[in-house]
Amino acid sequence: MNIFIEDTFDSAHSLPHLPETHKCHFLHGHTYRIRLEFTGPMTDQGWIIDYGIVKAHWSTLKKALDHKFLNEIVPLSTAENITLYIVADLKARLKDYGPPLVRLARVEMRETERCGVVWEAK
């Protein structure tokens, strides 16, 4: 069984490695929509993990990304690399501050309403 939270954050980036004729070469922003899914065994409390713990982990990471210039955080700030940054950060947070059997199962991050990235644990 998985649980999930969904949220948004607003950030700017540019992809200067692309030619100047590509619209993403220049500074632009997105309202990223994110869905974070976690998996683990049911506890005696009847849940996998307290939503409050998940929200606290995400809130700390969101503060680092929201209304920021992502190139300063993720140098090649493609949607794929931003997603991998989020995955690595949340995995470390869960390892250090989460129930031992709970793990990040899936991350879906949308740059726009119609395109995005999905990462799934193997």
Catalytic residue among 17, 28, 67, 120: 67
Instruction: Measure the CA–CA gap between 72 and 66, rounded to whole angstroms.
Output: 13
Helix (H) or strand (E) holding 58: helix 51-65
pTM, full prediction: 0.94
Instruction: Measure the CA–CA gap between 83 and 78, rounded to whole angstroms.
Output: 9
Instruction: Measure the CA–CA gap between 120 and 106, rounded to whole angstroms.
Output: 4
Instruction: Measure the CA–CA gap between 101 and 37, rounded to whole angstroms.
Output: 14
The domain that holds 39 is classified in CATH as 3.30.479.10
Nearest one of 107, 76, 77 to 90, comparing CA atoms:
107
Catalytic residue among 37, 80, 108, 111: 111
Identity of the residue numbered 109: M
Domain that holds residue 42: 2-120
Over residues 77-101, the pLDDT tens digits come to 999 999 999 999 999 999 887 788 8
Phi, psi of 66 (to 5 degrees): -70, 130
Helix (H) or strand (E) holding 39: strand 28-39
Q: For the chain, which ranges sit under pLDDT 50?
A: none
pLDDT for the residue numbered 62: 98
Active site residue 108: no
Count of structural domains within the chain? 1
Catalytic residue among 24, 37, 80, 108: 24
Over residues 64-74, the pLDDT tens digits come to 999 999 999 99
Active site residue 24: yes
pLDDT for the residue numbered 100: 83
DSSP state of 12: E
